[in-house]
Amino acid sequence: MDKENEFEGYLNAEYRHIAEAHFRTIEAISSFFRYYLLIMSLPVTLLALAIGISSQSESIIEAIFGLRPLLPVILIVISLVGFGVLIYIINLRMDAVLYARTINAIRKHFYDGLDIDINKKLRMRVLPQSPSQPQFMERQYFLPVVLSFALFNSFYLFCSLILFSGTPATEIITPWWSWFAALAFIFIHYLTYWRYAYHREHSYLKSYAIGVDIDGVLNKHRQHFCRLLKEKTGIPLKPEEISTIPLHDCPALKISREDEKKVFNDPLYWSEMEPINEAAHDLDRLRNMNLKIHIFSHRDWPNTFGMSAEDKNKTKQQWRLRALELVDQAYGRKALSKLWRQTRLKFKIRTSPIKQMTECWLRLNTLNFDTLTIERGSEDVADPQGNFRNRFYIARKKQIKFFVEDDLEKAVKLAYICDVVFLLNQPYNQNSDERCSSCERSCKQEKIDVPSNVIRVQSWDDIYKAVRRLS
């Protein structure tokens, strides 16, 4: 109850502050419009001054053409400055609309919580309570302002082009391209306003996209790892025993870095992974909702550190051959696509065996996606100053709305970037400080605070239902 009261107080304060910011923004728009009119009046003032001091002032037109080449430069600069001022005012207006929508949403919260008759409630309410109103594209309210800017700016552009063209002062007919440029500039003003409104309405703050990890999210990597570990090292390990990743961090498992390396350096580990059964079906269902699918994986393999030159070449050749086999399987009937990928692999043209293998694995298992990113460098740094091309950087850049993770630490960091992070339940992402008592180490799994927008899920069906509910 205390948290509810605290939230109510926060909303009241937010309402007051945003309402104040909304009106300050409107005042700023009015101020900038006055400054714009002042800029627009500058050529007239200069012209009057020039006519007053000119000895050739028998005719205004002759006086104007006598000011070449200074006047056309001034006119075109003013026209472009006016266009820049318009862009700034458009953004101010978009912010004002955003504030108004926020106020409406807060108003809805309090009206919905009011326990009175709906008829009385509707009669009391005059202002809107929909967070979808007003529209960013205001054709009846703000578009006339945009068109006013367009006419002024295009007129000055038109005059500057006439002066630049060298048309004699006595000639009434102007070049056709000056008319075309002026009309095109008017259209550019409208197009700019429409584009900013469209961006705010459809992709501002968050794009309609979902980021998806691969290992532990799209595949059954624990089961596959345990099978290959037994084949290569003879160490028996059950999938449910993997309570921390990487495994060598937990001494109780008695698995060394070299044991892990033997598994991960085998291309069969990456190419024969079994997918999670319902993942392909639910990814397609999400794509049918026009949700963009961005897939991420940190796969810095093969790791040839410490190998002899002969073993390095042998390992790289083994990976390249396996990648070529997968390309042939995945693109068998698409000759051009297959040839292009094989050529890139053979000549190392901005690709790697692990990337081609991952892409082919996704294709062979009908896991459809829009983009695939194989992360390089550090996979854990979320600070934008780190400048790593990882899931945090790209989620921030693409403004990804949802993300599906199996790593608790990464899920917490992504929660400050994305609206909702789905944490697919795994033995190694349980938020408990009791699981590693057997080895007397925390194994990097100490209990941490998890933001409320990190939602634990058991399956891809849970993810689909949650996205459908939240969209």
Confidence of residue 449 (pLDDT cuts 50, 70, 90): confident
One-letter identity of residue 455: I
Contacts of 51 (CB under 8 A, 6+ apart): 57, 60, 63
The residue among 373 and 387 whose pLDDT is bigger is 373
pLDDT band for position 172 (cuts 50, 70, 90)? very low
C-alpha to C-alpha distance for 288 and 283, rounded to whole angstroms = 9
Q: Where residue 62 falls among pLDDT bands split at 50, 70, 90? A: low
Query: Backbone dihedral region of 236: left (phi > 0), alpha (psi from -120 to 50 degrees) or beta?
Result: beta
The pLDDT of residue 258: 93
* Residue 30 pLDDT class (50, 70, 90 cuts): confident
Distance between CA atoms of 270 and 277, rounded to whole angstroms? 17
Would the pLDDT of 133 be above 70? yes
Which residue carries 């081609």 as its tokens?
356
Q: What is the pTM of this model?
A: 0.79
Mean pLDDT of 338-347: 90
The yes-or-no verdict on residue 169 having pLDDT over 50 is: no
As beta bridge partners, residue 145 has none
pLDDT tier, 178 (very low <50, low <70, confident <90, very high otherwise): confident
pLDDT (0 to 100) of residue 66:
56
Is pLDDT of 49 > 60?
yes
Quick count: other Cβ atoms within 10 Å of Cβ 358?
23
- Across the chain, mean pLDDT equals 85
CB 146 within 8 A of CB 90: yes
Name the more confident of 159 and 361.
361
**260/366 Cα distance (integer angstroms):** 28
What is the mean pLDDT of the segment spanning 73-101?
89
